Amino acid sequence: MLELRYVVEHLDEVKAGLLTRSPEAAAPLEAIGGLAQQRREAIVQMEAMAQERNLANAEMAKLPKGSPEFQTRRESLGKLSNRVKDLQKQVTEVEARIQEILLGVPNVPDPRVPIGQSSDDNVVVRTWGEKPKLDFQPKEHWDIGVALGILDFERASKLSGPRFTVLMGDGARLSRALIQFMLELHTEHGYVEVAPPLLVKDTAMRGTGQLPKFADDAFKTVKADPDRTYDLYLIPTAEVPVTNLHAEEILDERSLPIAYAAYTPCFRSEAGSYGKDVRGLIRQHQFDKVELVRFTTPETSDDQHEKLTAHAEEVLKRLGLHYRAVELCTADVGPSSRRTFDLEVWLPGQNQYREISSCSNFGDYQARRAQIRYREEATKKVKLAHTLNGSALAVGRTIVAILEQFQQKDGSVVVPEVLRPWMKTDVLRSRSRSD
């Protein structure tokens, strides 16, 4: 969330920044402009009356207690005090209304973010590896996986409906191998492994910006306990519980940066995406992901963002997957993020690059919502931390990339060398099984 005081005092500047996203992003500021004026006028009146009250109080102190003039001054002072209280209440109410609006206002993009109108304006910043040279017509992962007997979409649909998948045999083993490989690699990089709850309170969802913006995309549970005062949601990403580990805490600056890695299933309704990626593993209601989360100071925020992105890239490099890193433009960067690098992996079967990781720097946007702070060692002042996170990686999409980039003419798939200790094989081949 943006800082209330900064927004009301720099309204035009904030509006200009949000307009680089879209007119819709800046629209809520119109209401804030009128409320900010009300707040300003009430504060001016309150401060003037408070000064008048203080002067009257000093004058009254000089009068003999019990005298008629003393009594008159005391009555007048009481009215002034009540008026000051009324104005303070008015300011509090206006600020609460502004805060409610700000919950739905996205972050202001970093000035370095390229300005654009759509994902077509994203900027490729680097590539790694080369597109695989295939001397045959490449297949898409859903055909490869079904032929190998490792992906079963029909039985998943029978169980749960569309956009679910059953991983069978080597498919389940491949998923497990990827999770194990990613977590072990990230702990080598200094991340502390976390296994968080998969159900979180609405306050946690609000803290990282999923609420109210993505309420329609979340799976909200039914209250079994009528006395429960909060709603529980299935997590859309491990970012939510892991970032909120330090909600309403004051961290010691010497403990920063803090780095966590977490594997979790993730749950998304994919509201508004129907008709897109209806086949395969790209857009599922339930999927696995390894998430990286970092907490740091504003001064080291950019360096930590580069480091986190490099750690996500290292997974792709060790798997031998060709990819490119893309900086998202203002129209494409996520609502809570101020700057994002996407990693896009090449899929020969689809003949295009597809996102496999988003690595974002949120600045103090999430920290303000969740009240994640740190005490500066030199000054002892309490400041808002910066939060960062990134997928490293989305497991299903990594399986997609492996199946498509390492497919062979005979329908088999070469297993990346780093996964072979878990896979117990170097090639995935079709195996007969009972239907």
Catalytic (active-site) positions: 268, 283, 355, 358, 397
C-alpha 416/C-alpha 426 separation (Å) is: 7
Report which of 202, 229, 176, 119 is spatially closest to residue 369, judged by C-alpha positions. 202
Q: Is the separation of the CB atoms in 362 and 336 below 8 Å?
A: yes
What is the phi-psi region of residue 413: left when phi exceeds 0, alpha when psi lies from -120 to 50, beta otherwise?
Answer: beta
426 CB-near residues (< 8 Å, 6+ apart): 414, 415, 417, 420
Report which of 203, 213, 204, 205 is spatially closest to residue 335, judged by C-alpha positions. 213
265 CB-near residues (< 8 Å, 6+ apart): 198, 286, 287, 288
325 CB-near residues (< 8 Å, 6+ apart): 124, 125, 126, 127, 128, 309, 313, 341, 342, 343, 344
CA-based angle 266:24:359, to the nearest 5?
Answer: 35
C-alpha 186/C-alpha 165 separation (Å) is: 27
- HSE (side-chain half, CA atoms, 13 Å) at 313: 19
Question: SS3 letters for 253-268?
Answer: HHHCCEEEEEEEEEEC
